[in-house]
A = this chain, B = another copy of it.
Amino acid sequence: MNDILLMLPGPTTVAPRVLQAMNQAVVNHRSAIYGEILTETNELMSKTFQTQNDSYILTGSGTSAMEAALANTVNAGEKVLNIVGGKFGERFMKIGQAHGIDTQELAVKWGTAVDPKTIAETLDENEDIKAITVIHNETSTGVAAPIEEIGKVMKNYDALYIVDTVSSLGGDYVDVDKFGIDVCVTGSQKCLAAPPGMAAITLSDDAWKQVEGVTSNCYYLDMKAYKKYVDKVPPQTPYTPSVSLTYAMHEALKIIEEEGLETRVARHHKAAEASVKAVKALGLELFADEKVSSATVTAVKMPEGITDDQFRGTTREKYGVELAGGQDHLKGNIFRIGHMGNIGYKQLAITFAAIGMTLKGLCVDVDPGAGVASITESYL
């Protein structure tokens, strides 16, 4: 079980140091000891988000933070513009609909990124839009949205700028304050390389002003409660948090601090560039437009005549490397290599060796060593 190398767009391999942090005894979540760990973890989150605003960890998946972001800032009946170019963009649509929000879709062809100008045009035509949602890193297609450029556009509008960085924070450039992001959410099990089950959210002053006017129908995810409880002495969460996952998040964020956020992001970009080159060296084709290809996941078209079961089944069962498949209408048409978290040349060498051997074994006309050879060139 431990021999499988996870090359997924989450969950990613968790360092032993982080796993071991969960071995600590569970403490009272309303005690000063927990209050200290919570405060430090929230502060480390703000540092990673690169914001002066407060951050809040939530016990739940990244989706719980997406729901918190939207349901706390927009009333039922109010208009939100969702940029949709993949499965996670669609998720914001569904969350909005569940909450009775007037969800507008700005559809982007899967595999390409939104043009910030289109957002400006849509906002010009719809002055009643209260917020826009953007998926920074659309893991379903391997595309990174230009969140810095969108941020520049958003400075001209009152609408809140909500960004999902679930699979990019810690692996790609996310500077919440500089980019003018109002609400930013992330998950534990992607580039932060902590175990799954925890999410985080940060809100700007403008966002909090909007929260005050919203009658949220969230109880577990009511951000007003999180704010109220973190201001108590000792600081706490409104409902019992996962104490063990807080230990793990704390440790994972300390590792990021030790590595340095900039170094870490550069390391992810390097892995993405090396992966793209290795994909090409194997004669395979990228799914995403290369200009907007993600720093943390590479989506590759499945070679013709090979099924997902054959390909990913072999990499997993025969070579011990777990890759991700396509989702929804991309199922069977693409495979995805997650290069998030604890990733360097070692993991990529194994992965591209496995891909090469698998393809050769499935009778694809390929030099099985071409991918891994390309990795050595990239990292020389």
Contact = CB atoms under 8 A, between A and B. Distances in A.
B244 A22 contact: yes
Interface in A291-326: 322
Interface string A55-88: 0000111111001000000000000000000000
Residue with the greatest number of chain B CB neighbours at <10 A, chosen from A14, A99, A239: A239
A162 to B, nearest CB: 15
Interface stretch (A5-13, A123-131, A272-280, A370-378): A5-13
Given A11-B243, A195-B242, A244-B195, A220 B63 contact: yes
A98 interface: yes
Contacts of A29: 11, 196
Contacts of A22: 19, 22-23, 195, 244
Contacts of A6: 26-28
Residue with the greatest number of chain B CB neighbours at <10 A, chosen from A14, A25, A98: A25
B322 A31 contact: yes
Identical chains in the assembly: 2
Nearest to A222: B98
Interface stretch (A38-46, A145-153, A211-219, A282-290): A211-219
A240 B62 contact: yes
A258 B64 CA distance: 35
Contact of A244 (B26, B197, B220): B197
B245 A197 contact: yes
Given A6-B27, A13-B25, 12 more contacts: A2-B24, A4-B25, A11-B29, A22-B244, A59-B196, A60-B64, A60-B239, A63-B239, A98-B222, A99-B217, A195-B244, A244-B245
Pairs A-B, 5 closest by C-beta atoms: A197-B242, A61-B239, A63-B239, A61-B240, A64-B220
Interface of A: 1-2, 4, 6, 8, 10-14, 19-20, 22-29, 31, 33, 59-64, 67, 94-95, 98-100, 187, 189, 195-198, 216-222, 238-245, 248, 322
16 contacts: A4-B25, A6-B26, A11-B26, A11-B27, A11-B29, A11-B243, A19-B24, A22-B22, A29-B196, A59-B196, A59-B197, A60-B60, A67-B220, A195-B243, A197-B245, A242-B242
